[in-house]
């Protein structure tokens, strides 16, 4: 009984150790778009293994950077940030790298990045022809590096891309391309009958990869087709 009392007293002391969490919850948001400087259009991205936006919060040392994933359509948003000054830079992207910038994030801060994509995919067309899905397109390079490969990627999700596909048809290029050259990629449907089931809808997306370290593919928006 005595032991019990002592334990109870000790426990009540232990309760005093607890304080209410005195930190405010994250109250700020950062969002924006990645925009092609020339066309004004969004620069299409990958949802996994894609472009990140690196956020480094000021006032802490050492500090681990946060990496924000960019959505497929080229927009991004993080609505759980603490109000503070941050160094912000898109990294490992599919466009010519841009400088980092210091911004003060509070409330709903909007920050767009105007960039030059490594490759623009022009005159893109994805159509079903008989038992095939055929993609045709041209490439316009904005850097002098080689184009490593082009590909047509298929998935049941709209966020299809090179790292998210159930079927891929790729063509290794490893050369600087002629802007007038028309590329053609074909997915043969019967030989993929288990993955691309007849009567179902799938998303098809054309991508092209520049030969730059850590570069990501450039894309056009995915096209939905029934097979």
Partner 1 sequence: MKMRKNIGAILLVLLLGACSDVLDLEPTDKLSGQALFSDPAGVKLYMANLYYQLPIEDFTYFRNGFRINGGDPNNGGFAPAMQTDEAVHSEFGDFIGDGDFNWWEQSYKLIRDVNLLIDIIPTLDIAEEDRNMIVGEAAFIRAYTYFELAKLYGGVPLILSSQNYEGEVESLKVPRSTEADTWNFIMEECDVAIANLPESWQGGERRGTRWAAYALKSRAALHAASIAKFGNKAPLSGTAVDQKLIGLEASLASPYYEACIEASEAIMNAGVFSLYKPDPASPEEAAENYRELFQDPNIAPMEAIFIKGFARPGNETGHNYNIWYQPAQTANGWPHPGRMNPTLEFVDLYESYDNPGESDPIETTVSGDIEDYNGFDPAKEYLHFSNPYEIFAGKDARLWGTVVLPGTPWKDQQIIIQAGYVKPDGEAVIRLSDQITVDGTVYYTYGGPNPNTYSGFDPFGGNNTRTGFGFKKFLDQRTPVSPGWNQGTTDFMDFRYAEILLNYAEAVLESGMGDATRAAQAMNDIRRRAGHTVAIPLTLENLMRERRVELAFENKRYWDLIRRREYHIIFNQKRMHALFPLLDLRTSPPQYIFVRSFVPNVNPRTFDYKWYYRPIPGIGANELVQNPQY
91 touching partner 1, by CB under 8 A: yes
Residue 142 CB neighbours (<10 A): 18
Give whichever of 112 and 188 is closer to partner 1, judged by the CB atom. 188
213 part of the interface to partner 1, by CB under 8 A: yes
Q: Does 44 bind partner 1 (CB under 8 A)?
A: no
**Rule CB under 8 A: is residue 92 a binding residue for partner 1?**
yes
Among 163, 172, 176, 181, binds partner 1 (CB under 8 A): 163
Residue 165 in contact with partner 1, rule: CB under 8 A: yes
Q: Which of 6, 27, 67, 198 binds partner 1 (CB under 8 A)?
A: 67
Work out whether 46 is an interface residue with partner 1 (CB under 8 A). no
Distance between start and end Cα atoms, the chain? 77
Q: Is it true that the peptide bond before 130 is cis, omega within 30 degrees of 0?
A: no
Site string for partner 1, 112-151 (x = CB under 8 A): ----------------------------------------
Stretch that binds partner 1, among 21-29, 75-83, 124-132, 162-170 (CB under 8 A): 162-170
Residues 169 and 198 sit within 8 Å (Cβ to Cβ): no
| Among positions 75, 84, 87, 192, the unique one binding partner 1 when judged by CB under 8 A | 192
Q: What whole-number distance in Å separates Cα of residue 165 and Cα of residue 139?
A: 22
101 binds partner 1 (CB under 8 A): no
Q: Which is nearer to partner 1, 35 or 208 (CB)?
A: 208
Measure the CA–CA gap between 209 and 137, rounded to whole angstroms.
14
Find residue 28's DSSP bridge partners: 81
Are β-strands 201-210 and 218-219 bridged in parallel, bridged antiparallel, or unpaired?
A: antiparallel
Closest by CA position to 143, among listed 117, 171, 115, 122 = 117
Is residue 183 within 8 A of residue 169, CB to CB? The reply is: no
Ramachandran assignment for 224, one of left (phi > 0), alpha (psi -120 to 50 degrees), beta (any other): beta
Give residues in contact with partner 1 (CB under 8 A): 48-49, 52, 62, 64, 67, 91-92, 162-166, 168, 191-195, 213-214
């Amino acid at each position: 009984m005595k032991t019990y009392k002592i334990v109870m007293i000790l426990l009540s002391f232990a309760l005093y150790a607890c304080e209410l969490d005195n930190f405010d919850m994250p109250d700020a948001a950062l969002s924006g778009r990645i925009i092609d400087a020339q066309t004004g259009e969004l620069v299409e991205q990958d949802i996994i293994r894609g472009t990140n936006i690196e956020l480094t919060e000021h006032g802490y040392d050492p500090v681990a950077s946060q990496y924000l994933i960019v959505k497929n359509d080229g927009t991004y948003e993080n609505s759980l940030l603490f109000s503070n000054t941050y160094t912000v830079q898109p990294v490992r992207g599919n466009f010519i790298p841009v400088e980092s910038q210091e911004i003060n994030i509070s409330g709903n801060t909007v920050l767009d990045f105007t960039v030059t994509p490594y490759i623009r995919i022009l005159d893109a067309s994805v159509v079903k022809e008989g038992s095939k899905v055929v993609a045709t397109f041209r490439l316009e390079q904005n850097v002098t590096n080689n184009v490593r490969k082009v590909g047509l990627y298929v998935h049941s999700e709209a966020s299809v891309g090179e790292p998210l596909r159930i079927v891929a048809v790729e063509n290794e290029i490893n050369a600087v391309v002629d802007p007038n050259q028309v590329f053609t990629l074909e997915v043969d449907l019967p030989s993929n009958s288990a993955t691309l089931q007849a009567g179902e809808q799938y998303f098809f997306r054309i991508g092209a990869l520049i030969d730059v370290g850590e570069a990501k593919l450039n894309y056009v928006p995915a096209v939905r087709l029934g097979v």
